[in-house]
Amino acid sequence: MLNRLRTTSLGEVHEERVRRALRAIAVTFFALAVYLTVDGIVSLATASRPDTSRAGIAISAAALVVMPVLARAKGAVGRRIDGPLGALVLADAAETRLCALLAVATLGGLLAYGLAGWRWADPVAGFAIACFALREGVEAWRGELCCD
């Protein structure tokens, strides 16, 4: 985020830097969508089992609590800032929302496998998150990010 905020100099917003930063954010969303899709297909095709650990469950649960609150706070700040700089903060809020969704998918997948033996739950949740990441990526690429 700090690098993105460096697109300002003496209070002036450099439109081209902001556009490049938003496109870089979009690329991260696209890369995540590709990774989740490929990993989900491989997991389903090979019937692989998710790795489970108490630490993984605890970290996912903590992220599930913290990330939505942080995303809302970033979104509120981003909406208060006019112009391209606000768009960068909103892009960061979108990334934080995606982290919250990843925590949901991870925790849900671990619990579904641990409690019911459902190996497919984690890849399917990953596909849903990939769709969200693609949508956010397109919005970031176009500079149309908004927060909820």
The string of pLDDT tens digits covering residues 18-40 is: 788 889 989 999 999 999 999 99
The two tokens of residue 30 are: 């696209």
Displacement of CA 125 from its chain's centroid (Å): 13
Nearest one of 125, 105, 107, 92 to 62, comparing CA atoms:
107
pTM: predicted TM-score of the whole model, two decimal places: 0.70
CA distances (Å), origin 82, targets 48, 85, 87: 47, 7, 8
Residues 6+ apart with CB under 8 A from 68: 97, 100
The two tokens of residue 146 are: 């908004």
* pLDDT surpassing 70 at residue 145: no
The string of pLDDT tens digits covering residues 55-87 is: 888 888 999 999 999 999 999 999 998 877 888
d(Cα 141, Cα 3) in Å, to the nearest integer? 18
